[in-house]
């Protein structure tokens, strides 16, 4: 028994020692890991060349992420250019259709206003997008590109200004399309009064009434009091029977009955015509139809500009990240480090390591050496 007790006593200190050494090794490993993590963080901070004061939306991007952002922005820029060209073509079509009819009955180029409200922002954004593509291409060169970084920054500021200015255009468009436009009514009435004496007015009014499926300015009965026909072609004694007449261009395409545009208010045995049941001319005035078309086109322009504004905002945000990431050294020189990018804030470049060293010790005067 004594031998066994001695053996147990001799074994126990050794096992306790082994456990203590294992604990010490584990603690040393944890301390080593913490030290390594701190060193890594320190190296990451040392690799950054700028600090952002009062920064908002500040991120650290790898070079791979920056390349992906740049590719997406390039695709978006080319899409914006195609969209801008398409919207400019739409503005020309509006000018050649609705604008043509408005100018036909008005003076002063009123028909060019809506197309102009769309084409001006579109052309400005088109020019800015082309500059963005050039600057974006240049900042990925292997040499420092300070001037292109500043070009990108200034173009972003200009783009933001025009984005805000486009909202002003939107309010102007809304104000324009909901005006009464009484000058259009006056112009239509003037053209109607010259229908029989001026072939140009006759052609314009006929085209207007056929295109918009309308008759008169406010209503078709306005033609009753206008001598729109050549009286020399009417037999004597029949002039009094031609009171309720309209030009043939007032005929409605959607009517299923033959067009009756003479003696409209009279019931006729021919075609079993009764004005209450089968009136075959357009009952809406051209002034109302033009206003309705103007509002439709205006809201379409507002939608187009909202889409353009949204795409430009996305571009500005992405390009701002690239511009600030490029600002550190004005080039993307290393692919294995992080680049600091931000939207709002003031960048302050960090001093180099040499500037952080203490000043050299001045030499000891010779007087003290004696």
Cα separation, 66 vs 8, whole angstroms: 67
8 A C-beta contact, residue 218 and residue 184: no
> pLDDT tier at 37 (50, 70, 90 boundaries)?
very low
8 A C-beta contact, residue 188 and residue 107: no
Domain assignment present for 195: no
Cα separation, 152 vs 214, whole angstroms: 53
pLDDT tens per residue across span 285-304:
999 999 999 999 999 999 99
Question: Same domain, yes or no, for 175 and 300?
Answer: yes
Cα separation, 87 vs 32, whole angstroms: 63
Domain assignment present for 222: no
Domain assignment present for 273: yes
Give the residues across from 51 on adjacent strands: 348
- Evaluate if pTM is beyond 0.85: no
Question: Same domain, yes or no, for 175 and 307?
Answer: yes
pLDDT tens per residue across span 56-92:
788 888 999 999 999 999 999 999 999 999 999 999 9
Question: Same domain, yes or no, for 256 and 330?
Answer: no
**pLDDT score of 311 more than 50:** yes
Here the tokens at position 68 are 């992906």
Q: How far apart are the first and last CA of the chain?
A: 84
Question: Same domain, yes or no, for 125 and 158?
Answer: yes
Question: Same domain, yes or no, for 124 and 162?
Answer: yes
Q: Rounded to 5 degrees, what angle do the CA atoms 168, 173, 176 make?
A: 125
Domain assignment present for 3: no
- Count of other CB atoms within 10 angstroms of residue 234: 12
Q: Pick from 283, 302, 331: which residue ends a domain?
A: 283
Domain assignment present for 25: no
Cα separation, 360 vs 352, whole angstroms: 17
Question: Same domain, yes or no, for 67 and 168?
Answer: yes
Question: Same domain, yes or no, for 339 and 263?
Answer: no
Cα separation, 253 vs 146, whole angstroms: 66
Cα separation, 209 vs 105, whole angstroms: 12
**pLDDT score of 353 more than 70:** no
Overall number of domains in the chain: 2
Name every residue whose Cβ is closer than 8 Å to that of residue 173 and which is 6 or more positions away in sequence.
114, 117, 298, 301, 302
Give the residues across from 268 on adjacent strands: 273
On average, the pLDDT of the chain sits at: 81
Q: What is the domain range of residue 335?
A: 56-181+289-350
Here the tokens at position 113 are 């206003």
pLDDT of residue 36: 42
**pLDDT score of 141 more than 80:** yes
The burial of 219, by beta-carbon neighbours within 10 Å (0-12 exposed, 13-18 middle, 19 or more buried), is given as: middle
Higher pLDDT, residue 159 or 233: 159
- Count of other CB atoms within 10 angstroms of residue 58: 14
> pLDDT tier at 228 (50, 70, 90 boundaries)?
confident
pLDDT of residue 43: 40
Question: Same domain, yes or no, for 159 and 293?
Answer: yes
Residue with tokens 């066994």: 4
pLDDT of residue 234: 62
pLDDT of residue 185: 94
pLDDT of residue 360: 67
Give me the percent of the chain exceeding a pLDDT of 90: 50
Question: Same domain, yes or no, for 267 and 122?
Answer: no
Domain assignment present for 360: no
Give the residues across from 60 on adjacent strands: 340
pLDDT of residue 270: 64
**pLDDT score of 11 more than 60:** no
pLDDT of residue 257: 82
pLDDT of residue 358: 60
**pLDDT score of 127 more than 60:** yes
pLDDT of residue 135: 94
Helical H segments across the chain, by residue range: 2-47, 63-96, 98-105, 113-138, 146-177, 182-193, 199-212, 286-327, 353-356, 366-369
pLDDT tens per residue across span 149-203:
999 999 999 999 999 999 999 999 999 999 988 999 999 999 999 998 888 899 9
**pLDDT score of 310 more than 70:** yes
Q: For residue 346, what are the CA distances in angstroms to 339, 340, 341?
A: 16, 12, 11
Cα separation, 7 vs 341, whole angstroms: 69
Rounded mean pLDDT of 238-250? 74
Question: Same domain, yes or no, for 270 and 343?
Answer: no
């Amino acid at each position: 028994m004594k031998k066994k007790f001695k053996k147990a006593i001799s074994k126990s200190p050794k096992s306790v020692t082994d456990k203590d050494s294992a604990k010490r090794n584990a603690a040393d490993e944890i301390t080593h890991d913490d030290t390594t993590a701190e060193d890594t963080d320190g190296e990451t901070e040392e690799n950054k060349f700028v600090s952002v004061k009062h920064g908002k939306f500040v991120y650290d991007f790898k070079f791979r992420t920056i390349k992906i952002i740049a590719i997406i922005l390039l695709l978006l820029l080319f899409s914006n250019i195609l969209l801008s060209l398409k919207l400019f073509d739409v503005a020309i079509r509006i000018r050649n259709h609705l604008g043509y009819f408005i100018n036909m009955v008005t003076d002063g180029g009123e028909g060019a206003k809506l197309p102009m409200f769309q084409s001006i922002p579109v052309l400005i954004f088109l020019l800015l997008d082309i500059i963005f593509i050039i600057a974006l291409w240049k900042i990925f060169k292997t040499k420092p590109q300070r001037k292109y970084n500043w070009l990108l920054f200034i173009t972003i500021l200009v783009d933001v200004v025009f984005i805000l200015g486009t909202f002003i255009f939107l309010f102007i468009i809304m104000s324009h399309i909901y005006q009464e436009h009484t000058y259009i009514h006056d112009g239509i009435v003037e053209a109607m009064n010259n229908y029989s004496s001026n072939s140009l007015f006759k052609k314009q009014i006929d085209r207007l009434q056929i295109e918009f499926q309308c008759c008169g300015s406010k209503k078709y009965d306005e033609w009753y009091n206008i001598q729109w026909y050549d009286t020399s072609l009417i037999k004597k004694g029949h002039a009094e029977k031609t009171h309720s007449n309209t030009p043939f261009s007032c005929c409605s395409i959607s009517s299923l009955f033959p067009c009756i545009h003479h003696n409209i208010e009279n019931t006729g045995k021919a075609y079993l015509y009764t004005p209450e049941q089968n009136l075959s001319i357009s009952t809406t005035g051209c002034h109302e139809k033009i206003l309705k078309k103007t509002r439709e086109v205006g809201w379409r322009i507002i939608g187009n500009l909202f889409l353009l504004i949204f795409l430009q905002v996305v571009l500005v945000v992405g390009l701002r990240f690239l511009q600030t990431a490029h600002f550190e050294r004005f080039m993307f020189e290393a692919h294995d480090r992080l680049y600091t990018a931000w939207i709002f804030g003031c960048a302050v470049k960090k001093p180099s390591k040499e500037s952080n060293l203490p000043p050299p010790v001045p030499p000891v005067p010779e007087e003290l050496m004696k």
